[in-house]
Each structure stands twice: as C-alpha cells, then as structure tokens.
Amino acid sequence: MYESSPVISVSEVNTYIKSLLTTDPKLKFIRVKGEISNFKLYPSGHLYFSIKDETSVISAVMFANYASRLVFKPENGDEVVVLASVDAYVPRGNYNLQVYEMEEIGLGQQLVELEKLKKQLASEGYFDASRKRAINIYPKAIGVITAPNGAAVRDIITNIKRRYPITDIYVFPSLVQGEQAPKELLKAFKVSQEYPLDTLIIGRGGGASEDLSAFNDETLVRAVATSKCPIISAVGHEIDSTLIDFIADKRASTPTGAAELATVDIREIEKEFAYSSLSMEQALANKINERKEELSELKEELDDSLKELIENQKEELEVLKNKLHLLNPKTILQRGYSISLDKHGNAIKSSKSLNSGDEMKTLFADGEVSSVIK
C-alpha cells in the first residue's frame, strides 16, 4: 500500500519539519520559563545553552545582536524567562529556541537544592582536608566505576596499562546518567567494596550539567565517603564539579587524568632505576678509588714503619755487637790481660783453686804458655 508513496531525502524531511515549526503561530514569540544549563559564550558573542525544568530540556541560542542587550550575565543555574520562537536546524534535524529577550528571576530550584546539600555535607565534615587519603601510585588492583561501553572506560584502561601494566583492573559497570543512574552507581560501589582495591576511580566523560546530576545524589555521596580505599573522581571536565569531586580523595578533570593520578609511569621507574644504577656504579667506583688511596697511604705508612723498624733493629744490633765485642775474651786479651785455664779448659778464677802439681795453661793475645804449679 506504500509503494506509491514518493521517496524523499533526509534534507526534505528536516526542511518540512522546520517549515511546520516556524509557521505555527503558537510557537512564535512564546515566553518560556526554565533553568539555564550547559551555558557557553562564544567569541562571536552568540550564547548557546539549554533551558530545563524537572523533566525536560530544550536547546537554545541567543545571537550576539540580541545578547548584547542583556542587562545581566547569564550563568548555569540561573532561572530565567525567555522570549523566543521555536526553530529547527536542518543539517542536524535539531529543533531549538531562538531567544530574543531574557529575564533573570533567580537561581534554579535544582541549583538551590544542590547548594543546600553541599553546605550540609560540608558542615558534617565530609569535605575536610583531614579526610583525604594519599593515593598508592604502585597499586596491585584498581577499580573503575563507569559506563561499560563508553570512551571513559577505554581511556582509563588504556592509560593505566600504558603507565603501569602490572596492576589488575576491575570494572564495575553502571549507568552514568539518567533517572536510574544513582541507584546503578550505588550498587556498583557496594560491589567494589568487596574487592581488595588500592584505588577506586568513579567517572564518566564530560557533558551538560544535567547529565552529571547522578554524581550529586546524596545517598551515593554519603556511601562513597565510607570507601575502604582512596577515591579518584573523574566526572566531566575541568569546568564541571559534582559532590563526588568534593568527597573524593583526588579529583581528575578527565578519565585520562584519573589514570595518571592512580599510577606511576613505569617509564619513570625505569629511568629512576637507570639513574640509581648509574649512581650506585659511580658511588662504588668512588669507594674503590677511596679504598685504593687509603691502601696506598697505608702501604706508604707501612713501608716507612718497616724501614724505621729495620733501622732501629740495625742500631740495636750494632749496640749488641759492640757489647759482645767488648765482652769477647780475645778483646780483653788484646788489652794486655791474660786468662789461665786448668787442665779441663775451665777458667781459673782464684788461686785457692790450685794445688801443687796442677797443670795450667795461660792465654795471651799473641799465644799461650803451659805451666805446672809448684
């Protein structure tokens, strides 16, 4: 029954939808109330943002010629009323609000509630610096709570394996945005606490502030504060902040940054080892040279001591030699003395030891004389 329907292009579909939106009088110059989120000011002066309430969100743009008339500076969380028309962007098939005027009426209710919860947690000490724990950058195991198929988990795993490949990685999959995300994140966190982790990373890629709201859930935040191991938050980009960021022991602006905070780069370890090895070799060489110098000095001292000892011994020997020379009987004989010996060759020390008829020999320096006692 549809064979006769004409075939049209995607552009024709989007152009037709745009014509419906822009020609409907109910969608022209309407006043819309909501909270600003995902606000961006471009160098051109154009403002791009979203307007949301409790259940819905719509993209909006305010071009520079209208934005220049604003009497206040819009920010995320501002509650405003805008005068706008509904339009569509044909190349992408998106519809948005073309804003002409904007009136500030106060802070958005969600932002008010978030600030109230933040102050309450701060007053209870949840954000105190004394609660922050150091990250073990030489971990045996790291846990990751994030979407199982997102870019964040790939970035974290890739960078951890590149930096510190010897650690184990446990992924606890969870939704990271949407109505069910807080419950899923809480469930994943409870499971993670059953593992012997050194560090737990909780994160996702960047997004609009409403996409990060799950990480502001009070029940989740209070549970994460009881973690057995240090927490690294990696929620959104640098400009985004969630309550999980304040609870965490460390905050990274990106999943890649979380991997860098959680581990040491093994290449740095290798460099440190190489430097330490070189330092030890140099220190050992210095010690050897010092010992050689000490041994050389000791050898010189020993040589000098030995020389001195030998000289002393020579002098002592010379003294003894002189003494022996003086005590030598021949020396005494040469001085004009004589020695008398009995027949047995013993020196005669007293005349009383001699008897008549005893034979006696008298030694002189130049000879000897035999005689008989009468």
Residue-wise pLDDT for 31-43, tens only, equals 999 999 889 999 9
Query: Is a pLDDT exceeding 70 seen at residue 2?
Result: no
Q: Could you tell me the pLDDT band of residue 269, with boundaries at 50, 70 and 90?
A: confident
Burial class (CB within 10 angstroms; exposed 0-12, middle 13-18, buried 19+) of 49: buried
The yes or no reply on domain 10-107 and CATH 2.40.50.140 is yes
In tens, the pLDDT along 139-161 reads 999 999 999 988 889 999 999 99
Query: Is a pLDDT exceeding 80 seen at residue 61?
Result: yes
For residues 150 and 181, the answer to whether their CB atoms sit within 8 Å is no
In tens, the pLDDT along 309-333 reads 888 888 888 888 888 777 777 777 7
In terms of Cα–Cα distance, which of 189, 151, 162 is closest to 268?
162
Question: What does the alpha-carbon distance between residue 145 and residue 56 come to, in Å, rounded to a whole number?
Answer: 27
Question: What does the alpha-carbon distance between residue 312 and residue 309 come to, in Å, rounded to a whole number?
Answer: 5
pLDDT (0 to 100) of residue 285: 86
CA dist 366 → 117, 200, 330, 338 (Å):
132, 116, 10, 10
| Lookup: tokens for 171 | 């992924």
> Using CA atoms in the order 203, 206, 210, 214, what is the torsion angle rounded to 10 degrees?
0
pLDDT (0 to 100) of residue 209: 65
Task: Name the H helices within the chain.
Answer: 10-23, 64-67, 109-123, 151-163, 181-192, 218-224, 243-247, 255-262, 266-327, 329-334
CA dist 194 → 100, 188, 228, 234 (Å):
55, 10, 9, 22
User: Is the pTM here over 0.85, yes or no?
Assistant: no
Question: What does the alpha-carbon distance between residue 317 and residue 323 come to, in Å, rounded to a whole number?
Answer: 10
Query: Is a pLDDT exceeding 70 seen at residue 207?
Result: no
pLDDT (0 to 100) of residue 236: 67
Q: Tell me the Ramachandran region of residue 346: left when phi exceeds 0, alpha when psi lies from -120 to 50, beta otherwise.
A: beta
**SS3 call for 173:** strand
Q: Could you tell me the pLDDT band of residue 168, with boundaries at 50, 70 and 90?
A: very high
For the chain, percent of residues with pLDDT exceeding 90: 42
Q: 113-128+136-264, superfamily in CATH?
A: Response regulator (3.40.50.2300)
Q: Could you tell me the pLDDT band of residue 267, with boundaries at 50, 70 and 90?
A: confident
As a whole number, mean pLDDT of residues 241-269 equals 89
CB-based contacts of 53-56 (< 8 A; 24+ apart in sequence)? 54/110
Query: Is a pLDDT exceeding 70 seen at residue 336?
Result: yes
pLDDT (0 to 100) of residue 198: 96
pLDDT (0 to 100) of residue 210: 65
b/e map 325-359, b = 16+ CB within 10 Å: eeeeeeeeeeeeeeebbeeeeeebeeeeeeeeeee
